[in-house]
Amino acid sequence: MRRAHAARTLRLGHIFAADSHLAAGATAFAEEVARRTGGRIQIQQFPNAVLGGDVELVKAVQLGTVDFAFITGVGLPSIVPETDVVHIPFLFRNLAHAHAVLDGELGVEFGRLLAAKGVTALAWGENGLRHVTNSRLPIATPGDFKGLRIRVPQSEVMRIGFEAFGATASQLAFPLLFDALKTGKFDGEENPIAVIRASRFDQVQRFLSLTGHVYDPAVLAASPDTLEELSPEDRTILAEAARTGARVSREAAGAADASGVAALRQAGMQVVDGIDRAAFGRALAAVMPEFEKRFGRDRIERIRRVA
């Protein structure tokens, strides 16, 4: 029997540190839920991949062993391959373009696809624009990637894109990344500024190139099993609180970007600006037919046309 108004403590996992942009969004979500339920529903946050990496969190939400997860976009293709379209390098013009796409038709479409796989997308937040770090040389053009061993997340699209630039790209789960950079398994990696800073990659990387090559969203997701156990009123509260959390994650990511580059430079990283986007676009031409085959030319063009 459903106990609509029973006190509950629900678990939320994400892969980043407790002072990260996803943690800020998760905290805002938890505080809003507690406020609107009079403390009857508490959200307990598990940062730092305590409950698993993104791919593991997606599976845990599917199984109902985790109630909520703030999952970065690179974790979603493991169950919905169509979501990997957002990781085509240089697909988005800027953050405003990316937000408009995820808050529009594509976000709704992704939500339906996730629901069909047993994951409820409550709201689209943000991991951020991804930039390249490495320990070998300044990177400003595709030719600079030649021979560079770079870690990419679990995204085939990103692997294909970096190999088109001339890099040797391999996938690795995020929790293993710092040690892999420290030991020299990889020369470089790519992540949003907030992640680079919070993860202390300046300790194991010398150069930061402001490529902004990929926009990575983050979805505040819920287990349908958990939602089914709650009253309609509580489900509405959770959905509305999730939108607050998603908005805060975007604001926190933006604030981290604004201050993070200066902080990383002060920490000793050499920052490379003025990336040759046109050259990168030309380098991608050879693999665009493969992306169009995977996702459909129409879907890619619809994303590009969003104002």
Residue 241 to residue 267: CA distance in whole angstroms:
36
Vertex 297: Cα angle to 141 and 75 (nearest 5): 70
Residue 151 to residue 27: CA distance in whole angstroms:
29
pLDDT digits (tens, 9 = 90+) for 105-124: 999 999 999 999 999 999 99
Alpha-carbon distances, residue 74 vs 15, 233, 240 (angstroms)? 12, 32, 24
Helix (H) or strand (E) holding 44: strand 41-46
What is the model's pLDDT at position 3?
Answer: 47
What is the model's pLDDT at position 154?
Answer: 85
Residue 154 to residue 83: CA distance in whole angstroms:
12
Phi-psi region of 118 (alpha: psi -120 to 50; beta: other; left: phi over 0): left
Right CATH for 8-305 from 3.30.465.10, 2.40.30.10, 3.40.190.170, 3.30.70.100 = 3.40.190.170
Provide the residue ranges of all domains of the chain, joining segments of one domain with +. Answer: 8-305
Alpha-carbon distances, residue 163 vs 64, 104, 122, 154, 289 (angstroms)? 37, 31, 34, 15, 15
What is the model's pLDDT at position 173?
Answer: 87
CB 126 within 8 A of CB 191: no
What is the model's pLDDT at position 1?
Answer: 38
Amino acid code (one letter) for 181: L
Structure tokens at 51: 């409950």
What is the model's pLDDT at position 137?
Answer: 96
What is the model's pLDDT at position 194?
Answer: 87
Phi-psi region of 128 (alpha: psi -120 to 50; beta: other; left: phi over 0): left
Low-confidence ranges of the chain (pLDDT < 50): 1-4
Residue 45 to residue 298: CA distance in whole angstroms:
39
One-character DSSP codes across 212-249: EEEEEEEEEEE-HHHHHTS-HHHHHHHHHHHHHHHHHH
Q: List Cβ neighbours of 74 (8 Å cut-off, separation of 6 or more).
A: 54, 87, 127, 153, 154, 155, 158, 216
pTM flag (> 0.95): no
